[in-house]
Chain A
Amino acid sequence: MIELEKITKKYPGQAVPAVDQLTLSMPEGEICVLVGPSGCGKSTILRMINRMIEPTTGVVKINGHDVTNTDSDQLRMGIGYVIQQIGLLPHRTIAENIAIVPRLYKWPKEKIKKRVEELIVMMGLDLEKTWGKYPSQLSGGQMQRVGVARAMAVDPPIMLMDEPFGAVDPIARTHLQDELLRLQKEIKKTIVFVTHDINEAIKMGDRIAIFDAGKLVQFGTPEEILTHPVNEFVENFIGHDRVVKKLNLYQVEDAMHPVQCVVRENEWQNVAQTLKDAGTEVAFVSDQAGKVLGHITLSDALELGGDVEGFKKRVLETKKAFVQSTTPLPDALSLLLEYNSDFLGILRGEKLCGMLSFKDIRNHVYKKEGE
């Protein structure tokens, strides 16, 4: 746990403190995102945790211990540090770069080698090809993978990340974010993550702290912040698509509802009647083996009447309108629009487990707004 107690940082010649009387505690094993516009003091706060900057007044505590009691080099060796500019040593190979902190700890050579190999593989880099290369021979995304690997080399419980993915291209950034989240599920580090991008904050953060001009404006889970922005500043910072952004917090299975009607392919003649009896608008159609093929709506069924070919064609048109239950809600929304469909079938593996309509999304959001 990292606790900041009444931290103030004032630079000489500045009228306004860069950080003003900040008290904040970041729970263990979570990603805490510090977000705000440029110059709001978020990087300064991060750098005060590993004493790259010393606060003017106030105390920083890690697990209850004041950080100024530890020698600053020793302190930093035990905290992972990733910066936007990466800062790989250009005269050292990738393996040597990752080995820096283990070498500071004087690990035996064999242990270092094993750990470096493990990290290169863990970061999804090609071991043989990457090992002996120099940083300038890698792409930006690969370099930042090495930067993250280097910070995790001695498995520090705390990682500080200062806009770590800010300088890589959008595709690599998404990959890196996803991988960090995947890793975090296993490694459960306390991560302090600085960004100016609210979308990244919502995606990465277990908790988000929003700053403006050195002051903490709001601190809470992404859901709390998106649901109840405390003031206009936060509202503006989130943007007018606040509710759409909120969809990012949910997966399809949070919003779906159960399927009421599944029919076999050969029961097509009765579909309209079955739907009317069931009092529902849509039927999912499966083949004899029980594999779902698509769906048909009541209005389509009525319109087609006895046209079997038309029925099959209609069902086949919807064969792509299925998503896995863990799909993020915005992706499902996009698919609904893309397939020009009112319904998506929700699968868990191969099995149909629910369905999703525009109305479900609306209801879910409405419910969550009310909470």
Chain B
Amino acid sequence: MSWENFRVAIFDKAPDALFVHATIVLVTIMIAILISIPLGVFLSRPKYKRFGLITLNLLNILQAIPGIAVIALALPILGLGMKPAVVALLFQSLLPIVRNTIAGLMGVSPDVKEAAGGMGMSQRRILFEVEIPLAMPIILSGIRTATVYVVSIGTLAALIGAGGLGNLIIGGLSLFRPEYLLVGAGLGAIMAISLDRLLSYLEYRITPPGMRVE
């Protein structure tokens, strides 16, 4: 090990890798949220509840495929670069958000919904003003889980040329430079932990004072 290698890894390689990695994670999570929350809402409506189990099982299977396999499978279909990486990572991030959205919405007390309906709030209003706000802490905790997944599995995206912290790790392995590997893995861990903390703080803030468990 040499300090020179550490210096190169931290100051020359890491900033770019970190930026790309963060972009992949953010884009993936954004898309995952845009797909998962509406899907969760849809699956929690009484009319469509029967599709819930099958959808969750499907997502479960997607989740169960090892990340590296998904990325490898994405390569021949979507080619190289960031786009296939994001698609592959999406597979891993949908389940926790959909599952938590459903759980959160189902957990809203029927009494509250009954009272809201009895006052003349429309189904739409009940969804946006009552159900989603009340389910939000649980939905956010699903997003948190998904984010941590994506940060860690995101390192594999380097295999299909998407870049990110994976570049440092793979580079470190192939060049026998453990310093690169340590920096890549360390930054990945730091990113995962800080995002986790950030979202957990958000989760706390979004829970109304009357419902917080102190």
Report yes or no: A86 in contact with B115, Cβ–Cβ below 8 A: yes
Report yes or no: A90 in contact with B134, Cβ–Cβ below 8 A: yes
**Distance in angstroms between the alpha carbons of A93 and B211 in the assembled complex:** 11
Report yes or no: B111 in contact with A87, Cβ–Cβ below 8 A: yes
Closest to B133 in A: A91
Report yes or no: A134 in contact with B118, Cβ–Cβ below 8 A: no
Chain B positions within 8 Å of A90 at CB level = 109, 112, 134, 208, 210-211
Report yes or no: B120 in contact with A83, Cβ–Cβ below 8 A: no
Closest to B136 in A: A91
User: With A135-B210, A136-B210, A136-B211 known to touch, is A89 a contact of B130 (CB < 8 Å)?
Assistant: yes
Report yes or no: A101 in contact with B211, Cβ–Cβ below 8 A: no
B116 at the A interface (CB under 8 A) = yes
B77 at the A interface (CB under 8 A) = no
Report yes or no: B120 in contact with A104, Cβ–Cβ below 8 A: yes
Report yes or no: A77 in contact with B211, Cβ–Cβ below 8 A: no
A341 at the B interface (CB under 8 A) = no
Chain A positions within 8 Å of B119 at CB level = 76-77, 81, 100-101, 104, 150-151
A137 at the B interface (CB under 8 A) = yes
Shortest CB-to-CB span from A140 to chain B, Å, is 13
Chain B positions within 8 Å of A50 at CB level = 118
A323 at the B interface (CB under 8 A) = no
User: With A87-B109, A90-B134 known to touch, is A81 a contact of B210 (CB < 8 Å)?
Assistant: no
A221 at the B interface (CB under 8 A) = no
**Distance in angstroms between the alpha carbons of A133 and B210 in the assembled complex:** 8
**A residues 65-83 touching B (CB-CB < 8 Å):** 73-78, 81, 83
Report yes or no: A81 in contact with B118, Cβ–Cβ below 8 A: yes
User: With A134-B210, A134-B211, A136-B210 known to touch, is A87 a contact of B116 (CB < 8 Å)?
Assistant: yes
Report yes or no: B121 in contact with A86, Cβ–Cβ below 8 A: no
Shortest CB-to-CB span from B90 to chain A, Å, is 30
User: With A85-B111, A87-B109 known to touch, is A74 a contact of B120 (CB < 8 Å)?
Assistant: yes
B209 at the A interface (CB under 8 A) = yes
Contact of B115 (CB < 8 Å), options: A77, A88, A104, A136 = A88
Report yes or no: B116 in contact with A75, Cβ–Cβ below 8 A: no
Shortest CB-to-CB span from B81 to chain A, Å, is 43
Contact of A91 (CB < 8 Å), options: B113, B117, B122, B210 = B210
Contact of A134 (CB < 8 Å), options: B109, B125, B209 = B209
A304 at the B interface (CB under 8 A) = no
A302 at the B interface (CB under 8 A) = no
User: With A77-B119, A90-B211, A134-B208 known to touch, is A83 a contact of B111 (CB < 8 Å)?
Assistant: yes
A125-151 interface mask toward B, CB cutoff 8 Å, 1 = contact, 0 = none?
A: 000000001111100000000010011
Report yes or no: A86 in contact with B111, Cβ–Cβ below 8 A: yes
B114 at the A interface (CB under 8 A) = yes
A244 at the B interface (CB under 8 A) = no
Which of B109, B111, B118, B122 is the most central at the interface, judged by chain A CB atoms within 10 Å of its CB? B118
A148-167 interface mask toward B, CB cutoff 8 Å, 1 = contact, 0 = none?
A: 00110000000010000000
Chain B positions within 8 Å of A75 at CB level = 120
Closest to A138 in B: B210
**A residues 299-342 touching B (CB-CB < 8 Å):** none
Chain B positions within 8 Å of A74 at CB level = 120
Closest to B113 in A: A87
Chain A positions within 8 Å of B118 at CB level = 50, 52, 76, 81, 83, 87, 160
**Distance in angstroms between the alpha carbons of A74 and B121 in the assembled complex:** 9
Chain B positions within 8 Å of A104 at CB level = 119-121, 125
Contact of A87 (CB < 8 Å), options: B114, B122, B210, B211 = B114
Chain B positions within 8 Å of A87 at CB level = 109, 111-116, 118
B101-144 interface mask toward A, CB cutoff 8 Å, 1 = contact, 0 = none?
A: 00000000101111111111110010000100110000000000
Chain A positions within 8 Å of B134 at CB level = 89-91
B195-214 interface mask toward A, CB cutoff 8 Å, 1 = contact, 0 = none?
A: 00000000000001111000
**Distance in angstroms between the alpha carbons of A88 and B116 in the assembled complex:** 8
Closest to B112 in A: A87
Chain A positions within 8 Å of B208 at CB level = 90-92, 134
Chain A positions within 8 Å of B116 at CB level = 87, 89, 100
B132-161 interface mask toward A, CB cutoff 8 Å, 1 = contact, 0 = none?
A: 011000000000000000000000000000
Chain B positions within 8 Å of A134 at CB level = 208-211
Shortest CB-to-CB span from A100 to chain B, Å, is 6
Which of A73, A93, A101, A151 is the most central at the interface, judged by chain B CB atoms within 10 Å of its CB? A73
21 contacts between A and B (CB under 8 A): A50-B118, A73-B120, A76-B118, A81-B119, A83-B114, A83-B115, A85-B109, A85-B115, A87-B111, A87-B115, A89-B112, A89-B134, A90-B109, A90-B134, A91-B133, A101-B119, A133-B210, A134-B208, A134-B210, A136-B211, A150-B119
Given contacts A89-B115, A137-B210, 17 further A-B contacts (CB under 8 A): A52-B117, A73-B120, A76-B118, A76-B119, A77-B119, A81-B119, A83-B115, A85-B109, A85-B115, A87-B114, A88-B112, A90-B109, A100-B116, A100-B119, A104-B125, A136-B211, A150-B119
